[in-house]
Structure 1
Amino acid sequence: MDKVQIIGIGDDGVEGLTAAARQRLAEAGLILGARQSLAAVANHPAPKQDIGGDLEQIVRRIEAAKGVSVVILASGDPMFYGTARFLCDRLGKERFEVTPHVSSMQLAFARVKESWDDAYLTSLATQPLDLVAEKARTATKVGLFTTDESPPKAVAQALLDRGIDYFTVYVCENLGSPDECVTQGDLEEVVQQQFSPLNVMILVRKPGVPDRPASMKGRRLFGNPDEAFLQSQPKRGLLTPAEVRSIALAELDIGRSSIVWDVGAGSGSVSIEAAQIAAAGSVYAIEMDPEDYALIAANAERFGVTNLIPVLGQAPDAWKGLPDPDAIFVGGSGRHVRGLVEQAFEKLKPGGRLVANVGSIENLADVRKVLAKAAGDTKVLMINIARGNDQLDRLRFESLNPTFLIVAVREGGRRATDKN
C-alpha cells in the first residue's frame, strides 16, 4: 500500500516546496486540504477535496481512497500542532510520510528575532485559555496559535485579569503572504485591537520583571506580613500571624484545584492565601461578624483573588449547601470550637485534611480528643514565635502568644484533587 503523503505548504505556494515535495505532489491521484492550500495547486490535474478542519472527514476519505495516491496539504509543519499528529495517532505512523514546511510559529519567532528553544509553545485550539494564561505566568517566552474563539485581544485580557502585565506582545498576521504584518505592543494595547484570524501571538517577558504585577510587589503566595491585610481596629491582633498561617497552609496540603473551607475566617488572611494556592479551585470564607465579612471581600479585592467566596453566617448552618471540601481550617477561641471541628470533619472528602488553630490548653485537649476519635490519629504542633525588634543599639525579641495546630486526615485514600 502506498503511503499517504502529508506535505506542509506555506503562503508562498508550490514555489516554496522542496524538489522532493514537488515530486510527491506531482504523483498525487487525490489531493485533500483546506481551501487556501488547494488554491495553491489549482492547476494540478488530480481531483481535490476541501476538508477544512474536519479531521474525521480526512480519515474517512483516506480509508475510501483504495489504490489512489493521496496527498494531504497542510499549513506549515504538519507535525507541529497540525494534521499529521492526529492522523498518525489515529491510523498509525506506518500509513504516512510527512514532508514539513517552515511552521508559522518558526516564521513568527524569526520575524521578531527571538529564539524559541526556551519558549512555552501551544495552541488555543487544544488547550483552554485559563490553563494557558496560568502557564504563561512563569514563562520567559510564549508562542500561541490563537483561534476565533480566543483571539489576541481575549488572550491579552485573560492575562491582565490575572495581574500578568509584564510581557511585550507581538501579533504576527498572515505570515509569508503579501499582506504580512507584525504588531508590537503592551497587553493593554492589544486588548483594544482586532487582528486577522491567521495570526501567531508571541509574548516576551520584559527584563527583570518578577512573576507578578507591579502592584503586587512584596506580596507572597502565602506568609504575607500581617500588616498587608485590612483588619478591624478594635480587634486588631486576632489575625492569624504570618508564621502560623504558613505552617497551617502547609499542613492543609492544598492542591491547585482544591475546595477549601475557612471556618471563622476573620478578616480572611488564611482564606486569601489558600485561594492563591488553589488558583483553579474555590475557597469559602465563613464568618458570622458582618464587619469582618466586609473585610474579607475588601482583602480579596486587594489581593486580586476571584476564587474566594465570603459566606456570612454562623457555622454549621452557614456551610449548608457548600460543596464538600478537600481541606478545612478552623480557628476560634471559645468552647464551641470542639463542636465545630467535630461537625466540620464529617464534611471532608475522603483523604481530606482539617487543621484547627486554638490558643488554650483546654481547647487543645477537647479538639484533640474529638479528632483522635474521628480520625484515629492526630498531629499536634505548639508554635512559639518571637519577632526581632531593634531597640536603640540592641536587638530584642517580642514573643507572640503560643498557639496550637491540631491536624487530622479523614480516612478513605488520596482525594482526587489536582495536586499540580
Structure 2
Amino acid sequence: MSSKVLVFGGTTEGRVLAGYLRDAKIPHEVSVATEYGGEILRDTGENSFVVGRKNAKEIMKLIKSDDFTVVVDSTHPFATAVSKEIKSACKKTGVTYLRLKRNTDAGFDSDKLTVFVDTLEDAISELLPEKGVVLLLTGSKELEKITAGLSDVSRVYARVLPNEESISKCVDAGLKGKQIIAMQGPFSRQMNVALIKEVGASVILTKESGKTGGLDEKLEAARECGIRAVVIRDPEKLADSCDGHDIREVMEYLAKDFGVSSSDLNRILRSDSGSDAKATAPSNQKSEKSIVLAGVGPGDSSFFTNELQEALSNADIIFGAESVISRLEGINVPKISKYRGDEICEFLRENSEFKRPVAVFSGDISLCSGAKKAAEILESKGFNVVTIPGISSVTLFLKVLRVGLEDVRIVSAHGRNCNVSGYVRECENLIVLPSDMADAAKICREIEQYTDKIVIGYELGTCEEKVFEFDNNEDSFVNLPGKCLIYAHNAEALLRPVSGGISDDEFIRGKTPMTKEEIRTISLRKLALTPNAVFYDIGAGTGSVSVEAALTAPEIRVYSIEKKDTALALLKQNKEMFKASNMEIIEGTAPDALVDLPAPTHAFIGGSSGNMKSILETVLEKNRGARIVINCVTAETFSEVMGCVQELPVGEPDILQVWASRHKKVGGYHMADAINPVYIITLQGKQ
C-alpha cells in the first residue's frame, strides 16, 4: 500500500484530482510552478502544496523528502519538457509514474477559417502573411519566440494570466500597454467575441487544449467574427503517446492502492464526474458547509460563463435578488429571493437539507457587488465560499465606446456617497456606477460642467439596451426602471499637473490672512493625508489648505471650519473656483463647531481663537490616533502648544521652524522679502 501521492500541475485536471484526493482522504501534495497557481489552489480549499519550477534533480529531492510512492503528472499537454523531467525523476527514484491526460479534441476540423499546425514555427509561418492584428491566446510561455518571428510587434496582442511572471514575459517579448490583456479564465464564446472585436483582431493563435482550455469557445468566437484561427496541435497526440490515463482511471488506481472502497470511490466520482466545477468548488475538510457566489453577467443566459452554468447545474437551491433569479430559466431547483449573507445563513440553518447552495448576483461579483459583503458574513459563519466571476456590463459598455479597460477608472456611486466630480476632474475616462436612472441624471448634471462628453449605457446586454449621450434639456430617461452606467470624458484632465501644489496668486485672497505657499507645502507633507482621510482645517481662512487637501484625492473628505464672515465668503469662492466638491464649509468656532462632525483622521490648526487645548482635546477624543499639524507664528502660541503636549495623549512632537524669503525686483536689484518665521508642529495621537 502506498503512503503519499505527489501531483504535478497547476492545471484544471490537477485541481480536480486534488479535490478527489481530499474527498477520498488520500494523503497527497500538489506541486505548482508559480505563486499564482498556489493562490488558485488555496482558493479551492487545497492547503498541501509546494511552489516553484523544478528540474529532474529537484524533483528527485522532493520525492525523497517525504514518503511519496506515486507521482501523478497532470501538467499541461504542451509542457512536454516538464513531463520529461518528472518521468526521469520517477525512474531514478523507483516511484510509480502516472500521466493524467487531457482530452484535447476540438469540435472543429481544418477548413479555410480553422488551420491546424504541428509546431510553433509552422504557426508563425501562417501568421506572417496576415496584415491585421494578431491576438495570441497561447499563454505567456513562448511569447518572445512568437514576436521574434513576426515583423511588426505593434500589431500583436496577448491574453495572459494576471500575474507578475506572465506580464514580465509580455514585456520581454516587446509588448506594452494595451497589447497586454491580463485576465483569468474560463472565457465564454461571448467574451472571446468581445475581446476579438475590442482589439480588432484579424487572426487568433491558440493551442489544441480541449474543452478544459476553452478551445471550442475560442474557435466559435473566431468563426462568429469571420476571422482565421491558427491552432497548434497537442504534441502528445502527435507523438502518439499511449501511456496516459483519464481521471477516473487514475483515481481507480489510487483507490486500490490506498484502500478506498469501490462504493466510496463511486460516490466521490459521481458527486461531480470529474467536471471543471470540482476544481472551483471542492469539498473542504475544514468545513462541511460550502456555498458558491456567482456573477450572472449583464443580460440573459447568453452571457453565462461555462463555470456558472456548471455551478447552476449542480445546485440544489439558488439565492439572489428577484431581478437576477428571474433570468434563470429552465433550472428546476428552489429559487429564494434573498441575497444578503445573514439572510442566506438563516435560511440554510433552518433548511439543512440543502447541501449545494448557489447565490447569484448581477454582472461581475469582482466589481462593486453585494457579493463581497455576503462572502464576509458567510465565511464568518463557517462557510467555505467559492466565487465565480461573471461578465461585467462595464466590458460591454467599453466595447460600444471603443475604449480600453486599461484607459478608464471605475467608481461606484451605487447606494453610497461618492465624489464623482473629484474623479472627473482628474480622470480623462471615467465609468460611474449609479444607483438608478434618477441618480444617474443627478450625477450627470453635477459633472456636466467638467466634461466634454457624457454617455449613458442603459440595460446593457439586454433587449432593452440603449446607449445615448446625456442632454440636460432632455430628462425623459430619468424614470426608466432599469440599470445604467455613466461614461464621462474630460480631455482637460490630461493637462492637470501631476506634481500638485497651488501658487498663492491662484487663490482669491482679499484681506484675510493665508497660509503661504511654502509653509502650506511643508504642512501638507507633514500631515501625510491618506486616500480616505477625514480632514479638519480649523481656522481655514481663505481655504488654501482645505483646497489643496481636497484636490489631493477625490475620496478625502475636508471640513473647513471658520467663524469670520469675510473669510467664509472667500472660502466659498475658492471652493467653487477650484471645483473642490469634497470640501464642506462649517461656520462656527472650534471646538463647538466640531461636535457633530465625523471623527477626523487628520487635522490642521491654522488659528485657534485662544482655544488650542480644548480643540486638541476634542480632536483626540473623536480619534485617539489622529495626526495633527499646527502652525504657530507667535512665541506665545508655540508655548501654549508645548504646554498642551505635556498633558495630552500624543507622541513626541515633530517641531520645525521655517524661515523663507522671496525675492522681488526693486529698481535694478532683487531684494529679499521675508515671510514671517513659522513653527510647524506635528503631533501623532496615541491609540
Contact 2:431–2:486 (CA under 8 A) maintained in structure 1: yes
Q: CA 1:320–1:147 in structure 2 vs 1: closer, same or farther (change >3 Å)?
A: closer
Contact 1:152–1:195 (CA under 8 A) maintained in structure 2: no
Q: 2-side partners of 1:101 and 1:411: how far apart? A: 44
Please, which runs of 5 or more residues in structure 2 have no aligned partner? 1-22, 24-270, 272-280, 282-290, 621-626, 647-652
Residue equivalent to 1:357: 633
2:659 aligned to 383, 389, 397, which one? 383
1:177 is paired with a residue whose SS is coil
Structure 1 residue 133, shift from structure 2 partner: 5.1
Q: Residues 309-341 of structure 1, C-alpha deviation per residue, up to 9 Å, x if partnerless? A: 355xxxxxx54623279331149xxxxxxxx56
2:466 aligned to 165, 176, 181, which one? 181
2:510 aligned to 217, 228, 231, which one? 231
Contact 2:296–2:303 (CA under 8 A) maintained in structure 1: yes
Contact 2:298–2:460 (CA under 8 A) maintained in structure 1: yes
Contact 1:268–1:295 (CA under 8 A) maintained in structure 2: yes
Q: 1-side partners of 2:307 and 2:544: how far apart? A: 65
Contact 1:125–1:145 (CA under 8 A) maintained in structure 2: yes
2:362 aligned to 58, 70, 75, which one? 75
Structure 1 residue 101, shift from structure 2 partner: 4.4
Q: CA 1:191–1:281 in structure 2 vs 1: closer, same or farther (change >3 Å)?
A: farther
Look up the equivalent residue of 1:176 and give its one-letter code.
G
- Matches of residues 41-120 of structure 1 in structure 2 within 5 Å? 41-44=328-331, 46-51=332-337, 53-63=339-349, 64-66=351-353, 69-82=356-369, 85-92=372-379, 95=384, 100-120=389-409
Q: 1-side partners of 2:656 and 2:388: how far apart? A: 63
Q: 2-side partners of 1:16 and 1:275: how far apart? A: 41
Q: CA 1:191–1:246 in structure 2 vs 1: closer, same or farther (change >3 Å)?
A: farther
Please, which runs of 5 or more residues in structure 1 have no aligned partner? 213-217, 312-317, 332-339, 359-363, 415-420
Residue equivalent to 1:407: 680
Structure 1 residue 181, shift from structure 2 partner: 0.7
- Matches of residues 198-277 of structure 1 in structure 2 within 5 Å? 198-210=482-494, 222-226=501-505, 228-232=507-511, 241-247=516-522, 250=525, 256-262=533-539, 265=541, 269=544
Query: Which structure carries more helix by proportion?
Result: 2
Larger RCO of the pair (alpha carbons < 8 Å, separation 6+): 1
Q: CA 1:371–1:191 in structure 2 vs 1: closer, same or farther (change >3 Å)?
A: farther
Q: CA 1:157–1:6 in structure 2 vs 1: closer, same or farther (change >3 Å)?
A: same
Q: Residues 357-385 of structure 1, C-alpha deviation per residue, up to 9 Å, x if partnerless? A: 25xxxxx4x44444444446784535242
2:417 aligned to 120, 125, 129, which one? 129
Structure 1 residue 403, shift from structure 2 partner: 1.2
1:259 is paired with a residue whose SS is strand
Contact 2:543–2:560 (CA under 8 A) maintained in structure 1: no
Look up the equivalent residue of 1:347 and give its one-letter code.
I
1:151 aligned to 439, 443, 447, which one? 439
Q: Residues 254-287 of structure 1, C-alpha deviation per residue, up to 9 Å, x if partnerless? A: 6742222228x4x665665566669513122244
Q: CA 1:195–1:356 in structure 2 vs 1: closer, same or farther (change >3 Å)?
A: same
Contact 1:171–1:199 (CA under 8 A) maintained in structure 2: no
Structure 1 residue 225, shift from structure 2 partner: 2.9
Q: Residues 77-113 of structure 1, C-alpha deviation per residue, up to 9 Å, x if partnerless? A: 3444446545544445984665554222222222222
Residue equivalent to 2:457: 172
- Farther-moved stretch of structure 1 (4-13 vs 116-125): 4-13
Task: Count how many residue pairs are aligned between Structure 1 and Structure 2.
Answer: 370
Structure 1 residue 51, shift from structure 2 partner: 0.9
Look up the equivalent residue of 1:224 and give its one-letter code.
S
Q: 1-side partners of 2:643 and 2:295: how far apart? A: 66
Q: 1-side partners of 2:549 and 2:370: how far apart? A: 41
Q: 1-side partners of 2:590 and 2:375: how far apart? A: 50
Q: CA 1:189–1:246 in structure 2 vs 1: closer, same or farther (change >3 Å)?
A: farther
Q: 1-side partners of 2:675 and 2:501: how far apart? A: 21
Residue equivalent to 1:141: 429
Q: Which one has the largest radius of gyration? A: 2
1:176 is paired with a residue whose SS is coil
